[in-house]
Amino acid sequence: MERISWDQYFMAQSHLLALRSTCTRLTVGATIVRDNRIIAGGYNGSIAGGVHCIDQGCYVIDNHCVRTIHAEMNALLQCAKFGVPSEGAEIYVTHFPCLQCCKSLIQAGIKTVYYAQDYKNHPYALELFQQSGVKLKKVPYEPFTVDPAEAEKKQLVNRLLETLKESNIDEDYLNRLQEEADKLF
């Protein structure tokens, strides 16, 4: 198996964190990293022990859910809670940070923001990141799976295709099946 890049590794972690989100509108994950080591992570959701959007719906004011703490803020707050400095660290986020998170990331000393998807990229956030010297890098997420039985599955499919080939099945149909198998693996 080919190793994934550091960017893909940390972005995958952020997408994994997003699976814990309790927001029904958008799931977001964030991973704070220093020296290729994860120092904190967060996802968007309610305060600890509070009511969750998935249970009672979003509490929307001015088209924004006020019940939800953003993933970036949760990750920064985790650093603060456990005394882990964020100065000079980097953050990997599933979506471009909102304006409020942008300001918090700058104030926390984050030096680079990696994001997988554009999401309402506020022009003032872009200006503030540039003004403060925070680098932005879009890292499109390439989902992958870890399947310990992948080799065995591939061997089985190849044996089945070989059996079909020996049975004089239509060659065009067999080629389409082979193409589908190649896409799977």
Burial label, 44 (beta-carbon count in 10 A; 0-12, 13-18, 19+): buried
Which residues contact residue 94 at a Cβ distance below 8 angstroms, ignoring those fewer than 6 apart?
Answer: 11, 14, 15, 18, 27, 28, 29, 30, 71, 115, 116, 117, 141
Q: What's the token pair of residue 105? A: 């990331």
Alpha-carbon distance of 146 to 138, in angstroms, equals 24
72 catalytically annotated? yes
* Residue of 72, 87, 127, 171 marked catalytic: 72
Task: Say which amino acid occupies 173.
Answer: Y
Residue 27: CB atoms within 10 A of its CB come to 19
Residue 141: CB atoms within 10 A of its CB come to 16
The answer to whether residues 41 and 30 touch, using CB atoms and an 8 Å cutoff, is yes
Q: Any idea which residues carry the catalytic annotation?
A: 72
